[in-house]
Structure 1
Amino acid sequence: MTTRKLMVVTAGLGEPSSSRMLADQLSEAAKAQLSSPDTSVDVETVELRDHALDIANNFITGYPAPKLSSVVDRLTQADALVVVSPVFSGSYSGLFKSFFDLVDSTALAHIPVLMGATGGSPRHALMLEHAMRPLFSYLRAVVVPTAIYASPEDWGTGSSTEQSLEQRVHRAARELGTAVRDSPRNGTDPTRIRPDFETLLHPPTHH
């Protein structure tokens, strides 16, 4: 039996937070895609607000606290990541950025990442493309094509936008499953990985 490690990082500040709600939905769909009769999935969810003081102190002292250091170590050993941030001032939150500033620029190389964000208006959806995707490209992660943005309209019971969110979540989870199976970290020759031409021809749109 193979065990996959799925690490979920959410920067929501409320309790509960919409970012955590989206992270849970994404991780549930991703777990379903990564699971098989011979593969189990270990999901760990990290709420960055629980480590906010240690993250701030790290910038002052230059050294991470043991708990924070352990989180970063487990992050870099994961088979896949789900990352979700609320939108603040048109970008990801400072807490989200500060945490990933602690990660070495090569430590996430080849790790598949599914990105998500939440905000108060649909007009902030492009933050995922102009801010978050470049961050993880810099960290050399493999970011799946579909990024998930959820605004308040997406949580309405029985609404068409909710159905659209569910469809987008499952599409992104399928892409993450494919990326994990094709990952060089699993011994796959990266030169054999082929682009998803259907996605290239019909890129996902954000709602």
Structure 2
Amino acid sequence: MKLVVVSAGLSVPSSTRLLADRLAAAVERSAEAETETQVVEVRDLAVEIAHNLTHGFPGRALAAAQAAVAEADALIVVTPVFSASYSGLFKSFFDVLDKDTLAGKPVLIAATGGSARHSLVLDHALRPLFSYLRAVVVPTGVYAASEDWGAEGLDGRIEQAAGELAGLLAGRPANKPAKACFEVVPFAEQLAALSPKDGVAV
């Protein structure tokens, strides 16, 4: 299985890349098949992306990244939050892909930001973008604010999302419902079980 991680972090080291690496490691642990992981650092492709947008032709490094995404069995995509949305560089990378590249491809979306207030970027920006590109987005997205690092909860979200992506790759539903902790009895059966002594006319 080939897993491609697209990280749009700008600094070195980057919290965006850190989250990307943790997600990739979790998917590798959850996957049923041996996983080959490749990371695409969008920051390193910024100049070639700009040239592609203006001239229509990718440079060598960008062409290799485009090919890697096209050949991937699944993607993990992680962006820092800028102005309550994904970064422009992140979006530009997907703008220079062929329009059918992500069709039917499983994608795990994630983002990093300075405040938990921006966590809705997953559902308001990233999920609509990848739905438009016809990718299959796993139900759980992962957002990491500054205060999430080292706090309870982030590891659980990472494992949940990774398990969903691995499940899609294995042919299992990504949104398989959790096992019910109580028995559901149809109303008709409950009614039939009542007797006059219960004070109910049947």
After superposition, what is the alpha-carbon deviation per residue over 1:142-196, rounded to whole angstroms, capped at 9, x for unaligned?
100000000011113xxxxx2200001000011001111128xxxxxxxxx6853
Residue 66 (structure 1) shift:
1.9
* In 1: Cα distance, 2:46 partner to 2:146 partner: 26
In structure 2, the partner of 1:5 is: 2
Residue 197 (structure 1) shift:
3.6
* In 1: Cα distance, 2:30 partner to 2:175 partner: 19
Check conservation: 2:138, 2:174, Cα contact below 8 A.
no
Specify whether residues 94 and 194 from structure 1 end up closer, same or farther in structure 2 by C-alpha distance, changes over 3 A only.
closer
In structure 1, the partner of 2:52 is: 58
Counterparts of 1:46-195 in structure 2, within 5 Å, are: 46-156=40-150, 162-182=151-171, 195=175
Residue 196 in structure 1 maps to residue 185 in structure 2: no
**Amino acid aligned to 1:72:** Q
Q: Greater CA radius of gyration, 1 or 2?
A: 2
Specify whether residues 118 and 194 from structure 1 end up closer, same or farther in structure 2 by C-alpha distance, changes over 3 A only.
closer
SS in 1 for 2:108: strand
* In 2: Cα distance, 1:195 partner to 1:51 partner: 34
Check conservation: 2:104, 2:136, Cα contact below 8 A.
yes
Residue 110 (structure 1) shift:
1.3
Specify whether residues 164 and 79 from structure 1 end up closer, same or farther in structure 2 by C-alpha distance, changes over 3 A only.
same
Check conservation: 1:8, 1:45, Cα contact below 8 A.
yes
* In 2: Cα distance, 1:120 partner to 1:52 partner: 23
In structure 2, the partner of 1:30 is: 27
Check conservation: 1:109, 1:140, Cα contact below 8 A.
yes
* In 1: Cα distance, 2:176 partner to 2:98 partner: 29
Q: Compute the TM-score of the two structures, normalised by the length of structure 2.
A: 0.84
SS in 2 for 1:163: coil
- Gaps of at least 5 residues in structure 1 are 157-161, 184-192, 200-207
Q: Compute the TM-score of the two structures, normalised by the length of structure 1.
A: 0.83
* In 2: Cα distance, 1:33 partner to 1:174 partner: 6
* In 2: Cα distance, 1:97 partner to 1:7 partner: 17
Specify whether residues 61 and 173 from structure 1 end up closer, same or farther in structure 2 by C-alpha distance, changes over 3 A only.
same
Residue 23 (structure 1) shift:
0.3
1:17 to 14, 17, 37: 14
